[in-house]
Every structure is written in structure tokens, then in C-alpha cells.
Chain A
Amino acid sequence: MLKQKCWYDYLWIFSAVYFALGLFNILFAWLGLICFITPLLMASIGGNKAYCNRFCGRGQLFELLGGKLGISRKKAPPGFLYSKWFRYGFLTFFMSMFFVMIYSTYLVFAGTTLREAVTLLWVFKLPWNWVDTSFVSPWIAQFAFGFYGVMLTSSALGLVTMLLFKPRSWCVYCPMGTMTQGICRLKHKKDDLNGTQSQTDRRAS
């Protein structure tokens, strides 16, 4: 039985277009905030991981490349990848680097010179100076460089684990997935303590 495709099954196009747009103009990197804020809102308001389950364009892109196009060994990932210490450890590391990026943006806001480079895997500085960003405040451009680096880094890691293991191995240790699962855990614990039904429960009943 084949499932009918919905509009959200094509969100991988958004992910692909996002990275392409960033090549032409780094300021499009700001659009990535949608992928950052939406899952958090869905988890904190709806108490679910609907973003991961349905709307994650990046996950769909990995599924397409690794699954349908076969660019994956489709092997089981090592056990540590889905262990709690690794998932929460990686989330902590990822968020620390994210706050370093926010701090760099603040420094530029405070008067430091804009660095026109995208940092890949937190170490490699890729020069990205072919677009004129002088028509916006330097801190806006700095955030775009930093955020595009975060998105590129997570995609690069996702691609490597896609090649080595299962297509969506990234989902196992994705910081957003870990964070939203943690939010759902807290939210449902709170609902249980208050004796109120969560939205998920109400829908199910």
C-alpha cells in the first residue's frame, strides 16, 4: 500500500535550495532560523516531535540521497551514537559552539571587524567574500556567516554518517532532535504532575 504524498514530503527541496542560496548570498542563511525555531515551538506547544517526524527537510534529503539514490552503506551505526551520554554530550557541545557564534555576532555588533568566512566543522575557515553585504549592518552579516557554518557543519556530519551508516543516521544524534525529545519529556512530566492531559493525549482519545 503506497502512501499518498503530502506537501511536506517535498521539504527536502527547501533544504537543498537553502544551501544553494547561501552560496549566492550569505544573508539567506537567516532563513535557517526557521529550522531552528519551528521544532522548538512544536515541542514546547504541541509536546511532540512532529518536525522531526514530518517536516525535517534535511532528514528527507538524507533519506533521498542515502535511501532512494543508494549513497549509503546502510549499515548499523555504532552503539555509542544513540547512547544518552553521546546524544546529550553532542547537544551540549553543539550548543556551546552555537553560543560562541552568537558571541562573535555580539562582538561585531560592538565594533569588531566582520570576518567574511564560514567555519566548517568548527575549525576550517572557508573564505566567503564574493558577496557584497555592506548594505546591511555588519552584525547581521556576521550572524549569517556563523549560522550558515552551523548548518553546513551539521549537514557535513549528517552526510558522513549517511555514507557510513543508515541514510538518516544523523537523526540519531541530531541536537535539535535530542533537544525536542528532552522538551517533550519535560512537558509530559509536567502535564502528568498537574494531572492534565497533553494535546497529544487529547488527539488520541
Chain B
Amino acid sequence: MKKKVSISKLCVACGCCANSCPRGALVIHKGLYSISDEEKCVGCGKCADVCPACLISIIAKEGAAC
């Protein structure tokens, strides 16, 4: 099943997720919140592990076969 990250709007833009992502799929947008590049993201979940507020979850990609 293909996965992607879902980031809560409460993101504090600390950058922990972006620093931990092995594929550089996450960036901090304008110092406001984190956004992910679905093309690069493999849904490994490292960002969710390090997020200090636990605001990232790994979900199934829309239209992906289970």
C-alpha cells in the first residue's frame, strides 16, 4: 500500500521532520508549517517519529491499491 504523510495545521515549523527525512521530501514553507512532496515521500514514517508534537501521521495515498 502506498503511503503519504498528513501534517496537522497546528504544525509549529520546528523543522525536525524536514531534517529527519531521508529523501528530502519535507520542507518548511515560509516559516509557517511543513509541507511534503508526495512524489518524493515513501511514507517511511521517520518524520512522524521525530515530530515533537506528534502532528504527523502516515496515511494511505488516495487511489492507491491496498
Contacts and interface: CB of A to CB of B under 8 A. Distances in A.
> Are A and B co-members of a single complex?
yes
Nearest to A81: B53
Q: Considering residues B13, B22, B53, which has the most beta carbons from chain A within 10 angstroms of its beta carbon? A: B53
A138 interface: no
Interface residues of B, number: 21
A2 B22 CA distance: 7
A43 interface: yes
B41 interface: no
Interface in B36-61: 50-55
A172 B16 CA distance: 11
Contacts of B55: 82
Q: How large is the interface on A (under 10, 10 to 19, 20 to 34, 35 or more residues)?
A: 35 or more
Contacts of B51: 166
B10 A181 contact: no
A116 B30 CA distance: 42
B15 A1 contact: no
A194 to B, nearest CB: 15
A168 B12 CA distance: 12
B12 A53 contact: no
Interface in B3-31: 10, 12-16, 18-19, 22-23, 28-31
Q: Which 10 A-B pairs have the closest CB atoms?
A: A53-B15, A184-B31, A171-B14, A49-B31, A76-B54, A82-B53, A168-B52, A48-B31, A166-B52, A172-B53
Interface of B: 10, 12-16, 18-19, 22-23, 28-32, 50-55
Given A166-B53, A181-B13, 17 more contacts: A1-B22, A48-B28, A52-B15, A53-B28, A63-B16, A76-B53, A76-B54, A77-B53, A81-B53, A84-B10, A87-B12, A167-B52, A172-B12, A181-B32, A184-B13, A188-B30, A188-B31
